[in-house]
Amino acid sequence: MKPFTQLNGLVCPLDRANVDTDAIIPKQFLKSIKRSGFGPNLFDEWRYLDHGEPGMDNSKRQINPEFVLNFPRYAGAQVLLARDNFGCGSSREHAPWAIEDYGFRAVIAPSFADIFFNNCFKNGLLPIVLSTEVVDQLFSEAEATEGYQLAIDLEQQTVTTPAGQSFSFDITAHRKHCLLNGLDEIGLTLAHAEEIRVFEEKRKAQQPWLFV
């Protein structure tokens, strides 16, 4: 996993609440057995005017000029600014894979759906919860100012505007540690393999029917 430390990134504002993972990456792209290559189909049904299928040459497709991701001013954006309940619906990890593959490293919203939020951390993507008022402010600033960037510092747990206004965000110590160092969580857990084994033996003795 790519570590996440600091980022100074262009902000793309996606002004919709309840953006679900079906919209982030439509089901036809879930047939892939790979982890990469989902970026060109991120928000496929909003981003293109024609219907997308896996294997199509996306550079030849008809893009939707009215969808925010396609505005020239947001090309190369690394911070996705979103509304409430972002990432709701299906558990598909293809959603954070697509967002990350497109080039985003952080998503800021007033709230996220649980599974999506969790999935982000496994992929070097930082989801940041800020209050509705702050997110409102960032939306107005990002929409008003071309080239609007936010500075994100994971160590300090802050998001800073170009005017120097800083907002702090929460993250658990465990997630922060993994993200800062780009750690493989499975390796970390297996360091406790003995504890897991002891627990399992005890469980087997108490509820043998679970171990057929």
Partner 1 sequence: MSAQSLYDKLWQSHVVREEADGTCLLYIDRHLVHEVTSPQAFEGLRLANRKPWRNHSIVATADHNTPTDHWDQGIQDPISRQQVETLDANIRAFGALAYFPFKDERQGIVHVVGPENGATLPGMTVVCGDSHTSTHGAFAALAHGIGTSEVEHVMATQTLVAKKSRSMLIRVDGQLGQGVTAKDVALAIIGKIGTAGGTGYAVEFGGSAIRGLSVEGRMTLCNMAIEGGARAGMVAVDDKTIAYLKDRPFSPKGEQWDAAVEYWKTLVSDEGAQFDSVVVLKAEEIEPQVTWGTSPEQVLAVNGRVPDPAAEADPVKKGSYERALQYMGLTANTPLTDIPVDKVFIGSCTNSRIEDLRAAAGIAKGKQKAANVKLVLVVPGSGLVKRQAEAEGLDKIFIAAGFEWREPGCSMCLAMNADRLEPGERCASTSNRNFEGRQGQGGRTHLVSPEMAAAAAIAGHFVDVRTFA
Positions in the binding site for partner 1 (CB under 8 A): 15-18, 20, 22-23, 26-28, 30-35, 45, 51, 54-55, 83-85, 88-94, 96, 111-115, 118-119, 122-123, 172-175, 185-186, 189-190, 192-193, 195-196, 199-200, 203, 207-212
Contact 127, 106 (CB under 8 A): yes
Q: Given the complex with partner 1, which of 25 and 159 has the nearer CB atom?
A: 25
Cα gap 150→81, rounded to integer Å:
10
Minimum distance of partner 1 from residue 76's CB (angstroms): 27
Minimum distance of partner 1 from residue 7's CB (angstroms): 21
Q: Given the complex with partner 1, which of 74 and 86 has the nearer CB atom?
A: 86
Minimum distance of partner 1 from residue 179's CB (angstroms): 13
Minimum distance of partner 1 from residue 67's CB (angstroms): 13
CB burial of 163-186 (b: ≥16 within 10 Å; e: otherwise) equals eeeebebebeeebbebbeeeeeee
As a whole number of Å, the CA-based R_g of the chain is 19
Q: Given the complex with partner 1, which of 86 and 102 has the nearer CB atom?
A: 86
Minimum distance of partner 1 from residue 152's CB (angstroms): 21
Q: Is 99 helix (H, G, I), strand (E, B) or coil?
A: helix
Contact 90, 21 (CB under 8 A): yes
Q: Given the complex with partner 1, which of 146 and 184 has the nearer CB atom?
A: 184
Query: How many other CB atoms sit within 10 Å of the CB of residue 147?
Result: 10
Minimum distance of partner 1 from residue 23's CB (angstroms): 6
Contact 148, 11 (CB under 8 A): yes
Phi and psi at residue 27, to the nearest 5°: -55, -35
Q: Given the complex with partner 1, which of 146 and 185 has the nearer CB atom?
A: 185
CB burial of 31-69 (b: ≥16 within 10 Å; e: otherwise) equals ebeeeeebbbbbbbebbbeeebeeeeeeeebeebeeebb
Q: Given the complex with partner 1, which of 78 and 123 has the nearer CB atom?
A: 123
